[in-house]
Chains A and B, each alone.
Chain A
Amino acid sequence: MSGALDLPQLVALASEGNRRAVGRLLSVVEQGGALADTVTSLTHQKPSAHVVGFTGAPGAGKSTLIGQLVHHLCQQNQAPAVLAVDPSSPLTGGAILGDRIRMDHLNAGQAFIRSAATRGHQGGLALSVPGSMRVFSAAGYHPVIIETVGVGQVEVDVAAAADTTVVVVNPGWGDAVQANKSGLLEVADIFVINKADRPGAQDTRRDLELMLELSHVSGQEDPTGYRPPIIMATATTGDGIAETWTAITLHLQHLKNTGQLEARRQARIRYEVLSRIEQKLQIAAKNALTAETITTNTSPAKLAQQIVNQLLA
């Protein structure tokens, strides 16, 4: 891409609905560094759209579900944006971003779909996802949907960036013991059992219900009385899509009514600031840790403390 970047102009164009400007700004944010920081400064005061995160195992049907949801929203004359995140190769940095295949032929509506790679670098996604959300919000997209494979740190970073987190599971994914393991299921505001036309969907529903009941027994339930709904869906036919959207809007209403929306957004900013600090400190630490400082005789604990002392001095 050619030419110097006039970021304020790009932001102005984006807020007038210029898609190419939005696309360009997202690239700047993904690239990170000083230019990305400038985009943050130019967009952070615009009101945030409702950010909805979709997560779940590979092949659970997240992209197909989101594709149908976007179609549903476009028919209601809404302008949804999607950030579909796929992993980068830790070896080459390359990525195959294949989520658009499941969100086919949506260009007639007002939707904007962007594929992003995790790009491996430390805290990368934790920094670029909130930045991308701000670009979409500034450009007037609503709601803004983030899709991630529900594995590891990426999913935590994304849950931290979302107002509402939807966890997608399938029939036959596991039993009641799986449902009570820590992780993915704890971050859910809404469950969607996708491929619900397959055998075992009711068993899966029962296991999730039981897990939610146990949250009540152990005192882990939401203090405001919110209980994550369980939606049965078959994304390929469109079954359950309208119900999913209703559940998402009801959850937003609940967040607003209870004052949790502000609390979540404050927590989101806190998480982003901490991620930024971590990234800066990590770079400083890597620079301080030269090859000469490390020998086989070095105590790793002592050396780490020395470098921290040196950085904080």
Chain B
Amino acid sequence: MENSTIRIVLAKLGLDGHDRGIKVVARILRDAGMEVIYLGIRQTTDDIIAAIEQEDADAIGLSMHNAGHLTLAPALLAALEKAGLTTPVIIGGIIPDQDVAQLTTDGVAAVLGPGAPAEEVVAAVRQAVNQ
């Protein structure tokens, strides 16, 4: 739906409890006028798929600080595809530069590193949703 409020699900996937960054991002997106559905830490792919369906979300923001991004992100993308969902996935956190290309090839819409300014975070979400 055009002109409707962007609804984004934010979560940490797997065994990863570093949630300071994702809480900052939640606030940035809220202040940009979005509705942020915050799932918190230690979510499974099933948790995220259920939330996407029930919340009719426009995008997923994953925060990853456990070096599991090359395993967990493709797992989520596969689960989305299996569920027939085309919801874009944006990843933030600690992602080594050399892994960004791989994630993008796998189908991640955007990768945001530490210190990404608020405008960049908001723009990445808007662009992913409108594509």
| Interface residue stretch chosen among A19-27, A170-178, A210-218, A280-288 | A19-27
Asked, given contacts A1-B56, A23-B56, A96-B27, whether A115 binds B37 with beta carbons under 8 Å apart, the answer is yes
Determine if A27 and B56 form an interchain contact, defined as CB atoms under 8 angstroms apart. Answer: yes
Determine if A100 and B39 form an interchain contact, defined as CB atoms under 8 angstroms apart. Answer: yes
Q: Which of chain B's residues have a CB closer than 8 A to the CB of A112? A: 54
Q: How far is the CA of A9 from the CA of B69 in the complex (A)?
A: 38
Q: How far is the CA of A95 from the CA of B29 in the complex (A)?
A: 9
Q: Which residue in B1, B29, B34, B53 is a CB contact (below 8 Å) of A23?
A: B53
Interface residue? A92 (CB, 8 A): yes
Q: Which of chain B's residues have a CB closer than 8 A to the CB of A20? A: 53, 56
Q: Say how far B90's CB is from chain A's closest CB, in angstroms.
A: 17
Q: CB-defined interface of A13-44 with B at 8 Å, one 1/0 digit per residue?
A: 00000011011101100010000000000000
Q: Which of chain A's residues have a CB closer than 8 A to the CB of B46? A: 107
Of residues 75 through 102 on chain A, the ones whose CB sits less than 8 Å from some CB of chain B are 88-89, 92-98, 100-101
Per the CB 8 Å criterion, the residue count for chain A at the interface is 30
Determine if B1 and A31 form an interchain contact, defined as CB atoms under 8 angstroms apart. Answer: yes
Determine if B33 and A98 form an interchain contact, defined as CB atoms under 8 angstroms apart. Answer: no
Q: Which of chain A's residues have a CB closer than 8 A to the CB of B34? A: 94
Determine if A113 and B54 form an interchain contact, defined as CB atoms under 8 angstroms apart. Answer: yes
Q: Say how far B125's CB is from chain A's closest CB, in angstroms.
A: 12
Determine if B5 and A93 form an interchain contact, defined as CB atoms under 8 angstroms apart. Answer: yes
Q: Which of chain B's residues have a CB closer than 8 A to the CB of A113? A: 54
**Which label, helix, strand, loop or mixed, suits the secondary structure of the B interface?**
mixed
Q: Say how far B79's CB is from chain A's closest CB, in angstroms.
A: 12
Q: Which of chain B's residues have a CB closer than 8 A to the CB of A94? A: 29-36
Interface residue? B113 (CB, 8 A): no
Determine if B37 and A100 form an interchain contact, defined as CB atoms under 8 angstroms apart. Answer: yes
Interface residue? B106 (CB, 8 A): no
Interface residue? A186 (CB, 8 A): no
Q: Which of chain B's residues have a CB closer than 8 A to the CB of A23? A: 53-56
Q: Which of chain B's residues have a CB closer than 8 A to the CB of A24? A: 56
Q: Which of chain A's residues have a CB closer than 8 A to the CB of B32? A: 92, 94
User: Which 7 pairs across A and B sit closest by C-beta, in order of nearness?
Assistant: A107-B50, A23-B56, A94-B30, A101-B40, A27-B56, A93-B33, A94-B33
Can you list 18 A-B contacts with CB-CB less than 8 angstroms, sorted by A residue number? Answer: A22-B54, A89-B33, A92-B30, A94-B29, A94-B34, A94-B35, A95-B35, A96-B26, A96-B30, A97-B38, A101-B38, A101-B39, A104-B40, A105-B44, A105-B47, A107-B46, A115-B35, A115-B37
**B contacts, CB < 8 Å to A:** 1, 4-5, 7, 26-27, 29-40, 44, 46-47, 49-51, 53-56, 58, 86
